[in-house]
Amino acid sequence: MNHVNSSDWYNSLRKEFEEKSLSIEKVNRRSEYWRKSNLDILEDFVQDTSQLDLLDLNGTCLYEPDLIINGDILELVGQKSDQVVSIIDVIADEESFAKNYFGRLEEKSQKLIPRPLARDNTLDPKVGYVLSFSDSSEKPLIIHNKTNTSASNLFQRNLMIVDKDVEVTIIETGNNLSVFNTVTEIYLGENAKLNYLDLTGENNIFPKISHKFCDLAEKSSFNHFGLRLNTKATRTEIELHLNGQGINTSVANVSLLNKKSHYSDENVLINHNAYECKSRQVFKSVLENDCTSIVRGKIYVASEAQKTDGYQSSRSLLLNESSKFLCKPELEIYADDVICSHGSTSSSLDRDSLFYLLSRGVHKNKAKEMLITAFISEALDEIEDESIKSALSNYIDIWISSFSDE
């Protein structure tokens, strides 16, 4: 069946992808990629949102939005309207340049890891945007999601193309009032740079499933920072394809979860396919009150990717008995001249450090805050832009202090 108002190219792609989707392993408890994950987040559950007292992390809190996605409506607020095209318009357009890009990275990213939810998204996108960047911009582009309770299983589909030598920063914020599945395909040209901050706060009371697939050309750079501040449930899948020499990437995430049974599930695969590329992954989780953090991070090094430098660190701080940290830091390496390492730790607050601070007269809550702040700083340091980093650090500090006062 053809999609309403869609172009021939999309219809034929859809047909092809639908057939191929049969060979993609479905979400199941026994799958390597869903083992111990919370599958409940895939269910559409209803909750009374009127009673919620939300500590907001939204566009107005840190930044004024440029682009608002309100349910299935795209609203442009800023001055950047010329760059933005609706994905619905794109798949209806026979001549759209995007037809050479759409779905290609999703398909490529199915090779090592089955991604059935991304495929569902490809087959039925409801809203989304295509962003092309041909000029660098100092000011970050702020994208604000404003889902509402009426739409369920809203598939958001985005495409970003950053041209050669162009540097941009994107900050994605917003709420989540329904189950939300997003796929973003990103193409970075030679020497291009994309800083992507994906910030989710407590107003994300419904699960958010997001995929980001990124193709990188020579000397380009992709830096992704995720923040989960008591987000109800997130499942993130990021796959990077490092295809040219001298690429530099960083994927970092901070999960601070202390509301009953909140959950974050971070999955990253970095494919080193070219000479002398560098990748870093830094994950920090602070967990309390039955919360769970899962981190699956994999570095894949093809035989031609000599001089690869791959680093991964996944660490958690468990603040009460029942919280859980599950981690699978994986290396698959077929080249010999590489330096790859990963480290993982899980523990409670260091008693000696705590004692030291208390003995110097620091109050207990303050001491705890200080240690948490120190613990997550390695991940925050992955953010290059000092002003964004300090704005975010301040925000998080305030949040932590309200968190430990409770």
Among 49, 70, 132, 344, binds other proteins (CB under 8 A): 344
Piece of 126-134, 192-200, 319-327, 352-360 that binds other proteins (CB under 8 A): 319-327
Q: How far is the CB of 230 from other proteins (least distance, A)?
A: 18
Among 27, 123, 326, 354, binds other proteins (CB under 8 A): 326
DSSP 43-92: S------TT------SHHHHS--SEEEETTEEEE-SS-GGGEEEHHHHHH
Nearer to other proteins, 150 or 322 (CB): 322
Piece of 144-152, 160-168, 190-198, 311-319 that binds other proteins (CB under 8 A): 311-319
Among 127, 319, 376, 392, binds other proteins (CB under 8 A): 319
Q: How far is the CB of 271 from other proteins (least distance, A)?
A: 14
Which residues have a Cβ under 8 Å from the Cβ of 62 and sit 6 or more positions away? 171, 173, 199, 391, 392, 395
Among 87, 171, 329, 400, binds other proteins (CB under 8 A): 329
Nearer to other proteins, 133 or 300 (CB): 300
| Distance of alpha carbon 208 from alpha carbon 236, whole angstroms | 8
The reply to whether 303 sits near other proteins by the rule CB under 8 A is yes
Residues 144-173 close enough to bind other proteins by CB under 8 A: none
* Tokens coding 111: 């090779």
The reply to whether 352 sits near other proteins by the rule CB under 8 A is no
∠ CA 181-186-191, rounded to 5°: 155
Piece of 6-14, 215-223, 262-270, 315-323 that binds other proteins (CB under 8 A): 315-323
Tokens 């001491």 -> residue: 367
Among 11, 49, 346, 393, binds other proteins (CB under 8 A): 346
Piece of 126-134, 153-161, 258-266, 330-338 that binds other proteins (CB under 8 A): 330-338
Among 2, 81, 348, 402, binds other proteins (CB under 8 A): 348
Count of C-beta atoms within a 10 Å radius of residue 46: 9
Piece of 97-105, 146-154, 185-193, 344-352 that binds other proteins (CB under 8 A): 344-352
Q: How far is the CB of 310 from other proteins (least distance, A)?
A: 8
In whole angstroms, how far apart are CA 258 and each of 33, 41, 47, 273, 289? Answer: 25, 18, 19, 39, 5
Q: How far is the CB of 97 from other proteins (least distance, A)?
A: 39
Nearer to other proteins, 16 or 32 (CB): 32
Q: How far is the CB of 336 from other proteins (least distance, A)?
A: 4
| Distance of alpha carbon 160 from alpha carbon 132, whole angstroms | 6
The SS3 call for residue 120 is helix
The reply to whether 354 sits near other proteins by the rule CB under 8 A is no
The reply to whether 353 sits near other proteins by the rule CB under 8 A is no
* Tokens coding 118: 């991304």
Residues 24-83 close enough to bind other proteins by CB under 8 A: 32, 36
Residues 199-228 close enough to bind other proteins by CB under 8 A: none
The reply to whether 342 sits near other proteins by the rule CB under 8 A is yes
Nearer to other proteins, 178 or 323 (CB): 323
The SS3 call for residue 22 is helix
Among 331, 354, 357, 362, binds other proteins (CB under 8 A): 331
SS3 helix, strand, coil % of the chain, rounded to 5?
Answer: 25, 40, 40
Nearer to other proteins, 149 or 344 (CB): 344
Which residues have a Cβ under 8 Å from the Cβ of 16 and sit 6 or more positions away? none
Q: Are strands 167-174 and 154-162 parallel, antiparallel or unpaired?
A: unpaired
The reply to whether 330 sits near other proteins by the rule CB under 8 A is yes
On whether the CB atoms of residues 192 and 160 are closer than 8 A, the answer is no
- First-last CA distance in the chain: 54
In one letter, which amino acid is 162? V
HSE of 216 in the Cβ direction (CA atoms, 13 Å)? 32
Among 12, 322, 377, 394, binds other proteins (CB under 8 A): 322
| Distance of alpha carbon 120 from alpha carbon 157, whole angstroms | 11
The reply to whether 306 sits near other proteins by the rule CB under 8 A is yes
Count of C-beta atoms within a 10 Å radius of residue 393: 16
- For 338-358, letters b (16+ CB in 10 Å) and e give bebebebebeebeeeebeebe
Judged by the rule CB under 8 A, the positions of this chain that interact with other proteins are 32, 36, 303, 306, 316, 318-348
